[in-house]
Structure formats: C-alpha cells, structure tokens
Amino acid sequence: LGLYAAGRGALARALLAPGERDGLGEVIASRARLVDAFEAERRRIERDLHDGAQHRLVALTMTLGLARLDAPPDGPLAARLGQAQEEAGQVLAELRELIHGIHPQVLADYGLGPALADAADRTAVPVDTALDGLPRLPAAVESAAYFTGREALANVDRHSGASRARLAGRHDGRVLVLTVEDDGRGGADPARGSGLTGLADRLAVLDGTLAITSPPGGPTVLRVEIPCRVRSASSSPRTVSSSVRD
C-alpha cells in the first residue's frame, strides 16, 4: 500500500504542469493565511470584550452597589437597585463565559493539554484524561483541536447518556491525535446538527480529519488527526493529571 501510494503521488506530480503545481501551492498558502487571520480576529474580539465591555460591567455593578448603600434600606429604591445589581452581575457572568468560549486564556497561556483538562473538568459526565506531555503546537492547531474536543464533550453531556468518558491526546512529532470516547447509547450522527460538521470543515483547512464511530449501543469514539509540527521543544508548563475527577 505504501509503494502504491508513493507511485500514485509520483504520477500526480508528473501529470501536473508547473503552473498547476504553483497554483496548488498558492491555494495551500492562502488557506494557511485564512486560518491565521481567523485566529487573529478571534483573539482581537476576545481582547476587546475583556478590556472593554467586561470592565464597564464591573464598574456598573460597583456603582449600583454604592448607590444601594446610599438609598433608604427598606425603601423601593433600594430593592430596585439591588435587583439591577443582581442582573448586572448575571450579565457579567454570562460575558465571562462568552469570552472563555471565544478563546480561553488557559489555552493561550498553557497550551492544549491544560485547556482540554479544564474543559473536561467542566463536563457533567466524569471524564478521565490522558493529556500529559502534549507540546505547544501552532496556535491554529491548538484552537481547532480545543474547540473540537470541547464540542465532543458537550455532546457527551447532552446526547450520549454516558456514565463516563475518556479524553486522550498525543503528538508523535508529526501528527496530533485526539480521541474522545464515552460509554453511552451510541448512534451518534454528525448530520443531525451535533455541531461537529462545521468543526470538521475547519479541521480540513488544516489538512486535519475527524472520524466518528458510534454503533447503536455504543461506545462512541471520536478521533481527530491534524498534521503539525511542535511549536517549541518544551511541553506545556503545567502538568495535567491522568484523571480529572471521579
């Protein structure tokens, strides 16, 4: 099979005219630029929300609290100010969750392993993790893998009926492999709007693949492969435990 694939590749290269090869290279380069631009815009939006809207909501909450202290304690004004302060606090919490969903700070600071471990810890179904030793990878790869893993864990919560799941990741120097497995009812179909279809398109831009095996009765196994090189020789600075929680 290896020799056959090599022969097919050599034949394709021979049949492609020089201009067509150059065009193919430009398409690949433009896809990479598109991914980089997308990630840069995502980080800009996260920064603007964090430094702008979030700070204003914090100031508003504090102002409402001070106004509540100045109002007569048993009057209707104090009650309304208290309600407004509570609602502002809820909006602030929702905004923080939104910012975390756009680009979590733990992903930017510590890398894919700790970010996925944090996502697993937020999952209602107990998740065992095997993410130790994941190195820092290109930002676009880390982002795509993180959001794919997070969406897979969300599907485990919402649809699987599982009692336990497992999240594992490894990098062999050339390819990142990420797997999410659960012991649920199975029968998962990405075409039914699980949110993974768009992520598969995003992985394709990085020459990555997403495969799901989910026979009726389970288990469901999602596997992601993204070819990439290590961004730096050192691993993520924070160690991830092999089991997030019981």
Has residue 156 been placed in a domain?
Answer: yes
Has residue 12 been placed in a domain?
Answer: yes
Q: Are residues 45 and 125 in the same domain?
A: no
Quick check: 246 pLDDT over 50? no
pLDDT tens-digit map of 123-149: 999 999 999 889 999 888 998 899 899
Q: Are residues 53 and 144 in the same domain?
A: no
Q: Are residues 99 and 119 in the same domain?
A: no
Instruction: Assign residue 162 the CATH number of its domain.
Output: 3.30.565.10
Q: Are residues 4 and 59 in the same domain?
A: yes
Has residue 39 been placed in a domain?
Answer: yes
Has residue 188 been placed in a domain?
Answer: yes
Q: Are residues 130 and 147 in the same domain?
A: yes
Among 48, 75, 103, give the residue marking a domain's end. Answer: 103
Q: Are residues 56 and 34 in the same domain?
A: yes
Has residue 119 been placed in a domain?
Answer: yes
pLDDT band at 171 (very low <50, low <70, confident <90, very high): very high
Q: Are residues 180 and 85 in the same domain?
A: no
Q: Are residues 133 and 203 in the same domain?
A: yes
Specify the number of domains making up the chain. 2
The whole-model pTM stands at 0.64
- Helix/strand/coil (H, E, C) string of the chain? CHHHHHHHHHHHHHHCCHHHHHHHHHHHHHHHHHHHHHHHHHHHHHHHHHHHHHHHHHHHHHHHHHHHHHCCCCCHHHHHHHHHHHHHHHHHHHHHHHHHHHCCHHHHHHCHHHHHHHHHHCCCCCEEEECCCCECCCHHHHHHHHHHHHHHHHHHHHHHCCCCEEEEEEECCCEEEEEEEECCCCCCCHHHCCCHHHHHHHHHHCCCEEEEECCCCCCEEEEEEEECCCCCCCECCCCCCCECCC
Has residue 184 been placed in a domain?
Answer: yes
Q: Which domain holds residue 40?
A: 1-103
Q: Are residues 130 and 180 in the same domain?
A: yes
Among 47, 82, 103, give the residue marking a domain's end. Answer: 103
Has residue 232 been placed in a domain?
Answer: no
pLDDT tens-digit map of 188-239: 776 665 567 777 877 888 889 999 998 988 899 999 999 999 975 444 444 3
Has residue 237 been placed in a domain?
Answer: no
Q: Are residues 87 and 112 in the same domain?
A: no
If one compares 16 and 205, the residue with the highest pLDDT of the two is 205
Q: Are residues 95 and 118 in the same domain?
A: no
Q: Are residues 82 and 171 in the same domain?
A: no
